[in-house]
Structure 1
Amino acid sequence: MKKLKNKVAAVYGDGNIGCAIAKVFASEGAKVFLAGRTTSKLEKIAAEIISEGGDIEITQVDALNEPAVEKHMREIVKKAGKLDISFNAIGLPMKGIQGSPLTETSLESFSLPITTYTQSHFITSKAAAQQMMKQGNGVIIMHTPNASRISPPFVGGMVPAWAAMEALCRSLSVECGPQGVRAVCLLTTGIPETSLIDEVWDIHGKAHGITFEQFHSVMEGATHRKKLTTLAELTNAAVFAASDDGSGISGTILNLTSGMIVY
């Protein structure tokens, strides 16, 4: 039996992770409403999902536009009758944000990821939680990389941005939990299959005075199994967290870092 049968999911972000989440949610039986800023990306993943028998609708939405997100949520509920899952997978290009010491980082570069990530996740989570509380159930899922916990150098405002998302997850859980709403963070290493990782690893390799390959090796070596989190591991964990099997998980982090972070 499909793990998300009869579930309705809103996914924000048309990058590698957002599209992968939409695809696996649909394959597990969910009705997926995927929103992003680039129509061509949305259309491409929608065609793939439909060709495999999945159920998906796409909409061009800026996840930093609160009225647009609220409208999108209302349209989902109007069409599907409910909202079971919300997953925000927005991202930013890291050039100019990562790769420099804090003492050489501009206020604008430091603040950009903090305001972008916190505002977008607040907007989508708030809109989802309002509907989920009315119906008495639902789950809000976020994704944060290992930097939120180990604070490596040269990551700029991304460390407080990701840490703030984890704090938001806890706050949503404690406030909305009595009304049946869960909030879960998925914590990973860098994910090799995502296009952004090439950019980030190159930036950090240069910042540390080593090659891309050397930096990648250092990151792998920091895990217990000497292997970084895969995209499939992230999407499988998202399915579990979103399913009824994960009903006891809320206000916490699913640690998928393979031992890079131990707590």
Structure 2
Amino acid sequence: MLLDKKNAIVYGAGGAVGSAVAHAFAAEGARVFLAGRTGTALEVVAQEIHAAGGAADIATVDAMDEHAVEAHADAVIRDAGSLDISFNAVSLPQAGIQGTRLVDLSPDAFDLPMATYPRANFLTARAAARRMTDQRSGVILVITASPSRTAVPLMGGMAPAWAAVESLSRGLAAELGPHGVRVVCLNAAGMPETPQLSEVYGLHAAAYGITRDEFQQRMADRTLRKQLPTVAEIANVAAFVASDRAAAMTGAIANLSGGMITD
């Protein structure tokens, strides 16, 4: 198994992406520490992982709370002995953020993702980096989306926030590489089966005066394979990148856009 005897924290583990990645990590042998703000959602994911023969623990953690993040990382080290993987999949409801032109957007609506995504990723990555540096090994993963690198209208502060997270990941990789710690950003597109993307596509569709399905098809047509990536595809890549088989990969933005972005 790719992640045998590894210990992984997944922030936002109750959400669609976080839970899928947690399942993928567990299936590859990792002990997964599920962190999020909603304990009931984490319980469901933990029960599913246990039923499949995996190992999972849960903790209610707000990724925006510096002290909670640090205390949880300490608890993982005490319990498991190491912290080998950190993956941040926190998200925000997008109503009032996407689907509105920048010139019509309020400062507060623009600020919300800018204040949330970079800070949450900074706090969780910093907590992991401090402990991984001491053990001289580990992998920090973050996730963004294709608008960070393309010219897409009606994204509000989301595209700038994702671009900031990508820049943060490169800076961390430069500082942590000499200490044996890798940092990789997964840049995804699509995943229309997730509740958040369904919401987002609905917001954009309403702005254009088309149906949600029509907007989804428009997005799929922008990819080279005419098919949007799925959550399972993203999760499988996350498990590989977190493994020792990807040991040469750091400071990278892994392109999981299905060809929406061409490198």
Structure 2 length-normalised TM: 0.98
Q: Distance in 1 between matches of 2:215 and 2:246?
A: 35
CA contact (8 A) 2:192 2:216 kept: no
Q: Which residue of 2 aligns with 1:4?
A: 3
- SS for the counterpart of 2:122 is helix
Structure 1 length-normalised TM: 0.98
Greater Cα offset, 168-177 or 185-194: 185-194
The answer for unaligned runs of 5 or more in structure 2 is: none
Q: Distance in 1 between matches of 2:77 and 2:193?
A: 33
Aligned pairs for 1:95-114 within 5 A = 95-114=95-114
Q: Distance in 2 between matches of 1:151 and 1:117?
A: 20
CA contact (8 A) 2:117 2:165 kept: yes
Q: Distance in 1 between matches of 2:193 and 2:132?
A: 32
Aligned pairs for 1:28-47 within 5 A = 28-47=28-47
Q: Distance in 2 between matches of 1:238 and 1:193?
A: 18
Q: Distance in 2 between matches of 1:15 and 1:170?
A: 25
Q: Which residue of 2 aligns with 1:250?
A: 250
- What RMSD in Å do the two structures reach over aligned CA positions? 0.7
Q: Distance in 1 between matches of 2:160 and 2:248?
A: 28
Q: Which residue of 2 aligns with 1:151?
A: 151
- SS for the counterpart of 2:232 is helix
Aligned pairs for 1:1-263 within 5 A = 2-13=1-12, 14-263=14-263
Moved over 4 A (4+): none
Q: Distance in 1 between matches of 2:7 and 2:72?
A: 13
CA contact (8 A) 2:29 2:54 kept: yes
Alpha-carbon distance, 1:151 to partner: 3.0
**How many residues are aligned here?**
262
Paired letter, 2:106:
S
- SS for the counterpart of 2:250 is coil
Q: Distance in 1 between matches of 2:18 and 2:220?
A: 24
Q: Distance in 2 between matches of 1:105 and 1:195?
A: 23
Alpha-carbon distance, 1:41 to partner: 0.4
Q: Distance in 1 between matches of 2:219 and 2:158?
A: 17
Alpha-carbon distance, 1:233 to partner: 0.9
Q: Distance in 2 between matches of 1:53 and 1:133?
A: 31
Q: Distance in 1 between matches of 2:51 and 2:216?
A: 35
Alpha-carbon distance, 1:245 to partner: 0.4
Cα deviation, 1:196-239, whole Å, max 9, x if unaligned, reads 11110010011122211111111000001100011111011101
Q: Distance in 1 between matches of 2:223 and 2:151?
A: 16
Alpha-carbon distance, 1:145 to partner: 1.0
* Aligned-pair identity (%): 49
CA contact (8 A) 1:151 1:159 kept: no
The answer for unaligned runs of 5 or more in structure 1 is: none
